[in-house]
Amino acid sequence: MDDEIKTKLLQYEEEEEEEGDLKQRIWIESKKIWRVAFPSVISRVCAFGTIVVTQSFIGHISDIDLAGYALVQTLSVRFVNGILLGMSSATETLCGQAFGAGHDHMMGIYLQRSWIVDLITLTVLLPVFIFATQIFRLVGEEEALAKSGGYISLWFIPFIYNYVFSLTIQMYLQAQLKNMIIAWLSTLQFAIHIPLSMLFVYKLNMGVAGAMISLSMSSWVLVIGEFIYIFGGWCPNSWKGFTVAAFKDLLPVVKLSISSGVMVCLELWYNAVLVLLAGYMADAEVAISAFSICLNVNVWEFMISLGFLGAACVRVANELGRGNAKAVKFSIKVLLGTSLTIGMFFFILCLVFGKKLAYVFTDDDRVADTVSDLSLLLSFSVLLNSIYPVLSGVAVGAGLQATVAIVNLVCFYLIGVPFGAMLGYLTSLEVKGIWIGMICGVLTQTITLLYLNWKTDWDLQVTRASERLNRFYLKTNDDADHVTNEL
């Protein structure tokens, strides 16, 4: 009897110890996640906030320019940003795994390779902005809307070039847990942007041009600050100066970048296609404006989710680089739990405030009423935002972008878009029907990614990460490969 009591006491003590150990592990993992996610959330919210603030200023200048800006920002800018963000996520994969494996000096080389690839890519894509009016006419937009969009599109060109550096540098810094500087710089960018916009739009009375000039100026403040931080010696282990090694092994990087680009583009373009569908409805100006306002609120909350996407990528990549498959699986569970809790909070917030959101962007009651009708669907979109970006981040960290690209193609474009078009045009739901289709696509994608994540062999991914790092690795003392000019 005594032995039985001792055994039960021993089991109870072990269970208590495991529970305490689990709490400690969750706390430690949460600190690692927030160390990446919090600065990333701040930087992304502020960066997107500058775009939304500009939209707000333009919305109070002219309704047609608001619709034109919404068209360019949602279609052209998101199109190009999707490609650059996706191709830059290859930097996130490689830098994260290199940091985990202790190959710090390779991170600077990966960063320079991403600059080369992204600069060439963006220059090739410039006709999207130069010939925007013709493109909008071609897809059937109204003449006034096409002209306004084409004019605003040209002002976006100096702005979009900041993406080449800001996106890649953020991924480079957060992979080595140094992205708090990005949060400070992004806050400065946002703080500067508001008075700059007031100066150019109201004081100098420059209208739309003034709003776009302030957007470009504030965006480059961030990039200049990033350059000062890197070149000034705050990344001594990962930045060894410019090197000709950046031009080597570009083809494998391009291949990984393309699969990354396709994965992210299919996500970001999804909303853009639905906005395009809204543009063909009877009252296109109201439909596009209302849909764009809801999408901007959705995307602004999505910036928080992207912070967790970045955290998921860094944590998964770091642990794969270290060869710890068990830590990868535990990190994914903590990430999903944390992100879902935040998603529930914003879900309730969107339900409560509904119609009031619209008046931040417009004075038009018709647009506000349409936004109010979409508020319930917006709330569900916000909730789903807390799940699938984390799973996408896991895929980026593991280098599984090609698989997720196929999932996105099927769920978004073979399910979501056709279903949304059918409900929008064949029923009385109109814009609401398009949004329901969008939610169906996202829900299908989320369920699929959850299943794929559950079935993934993480020990196999550890082996593949090791093989990838060894293939790209360059010795630090190889003078032939590193002709470096220290800055």
Distance between CA atoms of 171 and 405, rounded to whole angstroms?
20
Tens digit of pLDDT for each residue in 238-282? 998 888 888 887 777 777 777 767 777 777 677 667 666 766 666
Higher model confidence: residue 360 or residue 315? 315
Residue from 469, 484, 479, 482 nearest 104 by CA: 469
Beta bridge partners of 485: 242
CB-based contact 312:390 (threshold 8 Å): yes
Tens digit of pLDDT for each residue in 139-180? 777 888 889 889 999 999 999 999 999 989 988 998 888 888
> What crossing angle do the helices spanning 105-125 and 78-101 adopt, rounded to 10°?
170
Distance between CA atoms of 455 and 394, rounded to whole angstroms?
13
Cα 485 to Cα 70, 112, 241: the distances in Å are 44, 13, 6
From the number of C-beta atoms within 10 Å of its C-beta (0-12, 13-18, 19+), residue 485 rates as exposed
Residue from 295, 253, 216 nearest 54 by CA: 216
Q: What are phi and psi of 324, to 5 degrees?
A: -110, 90
**In which element (H, E) is residue 24 found?**
helix 2-59
Q: What is the mean pLDDT of the chain?
A: 82
Higher model confidence: residue 363 or residue 138? 138
Amino acid at 242: F
Q: Residue 85, CB half-sphere, CA atoms under 13 Å: how many?
A: 20
Give every CB contact of residue 450 below 8 A, 6+ residues apart in sequence. Answer: 387, 391
DSSP assignments along 158-203, one per residue: HHHTHHHHHHHHHHHHHHTT-THHHHHHHHHHHHHHHHHHHIIIII
What ranges do the domains of the chain cover? 33-472
Tens digit of pLDDT for each residue in 374-383? 788 888 888 8
Tens digit of pLDDT for each residue in 296-338? 777 777 777 878 888 888 888 888 888 888 888 899 999 999 9
Distance between CA atoms of 263 and 232, rounded to whole angstroms?
34
**In which element (H, E) is residue 154 found?**
helix 143-155
In the prediction, which pLDDT does 427 show? 84
CB-based contact 433:291 (threshold 8 Å): no
Please count the helices (runs of H) and the strands (runs of E) in the chain.
20, 0
Q: Is the dihedral of CA 261, 262, 264, 266 positive or negative?
A: positive
CB-based contact 273:355 (threshold 8 Å): no
Residue 5's pLDDT band (boundaries 50, 70, 90)?
A: very low
Can you tell me whether residue 483 is helix, strand or coil? coil
Amino acid at 204: L
Beta bridge partners of 242: 485
Terminal-residue alpha carbon distance, the chain: 76
Q: What is the DSSP letter of 248?
A: T
Q: Is the pTM of this model over 0.85?
A: no
Tens digit of pLDDT for each residue in 389-403? 888 888 877 877 778
In the prediction, which pLDDT does 154 show? 94
Q: Which of 19-23, 77-81, 266-270 has the highest mean pLDDT?
A: 77-81
From the number of C-beta atoms within 10 Å of its C-beta (0-12, 13-18, 19+), residue 21 rates as exposed
The proportion of the chain whose per-residue pLDDT surpasses 90, expressed as a percent, equals 23
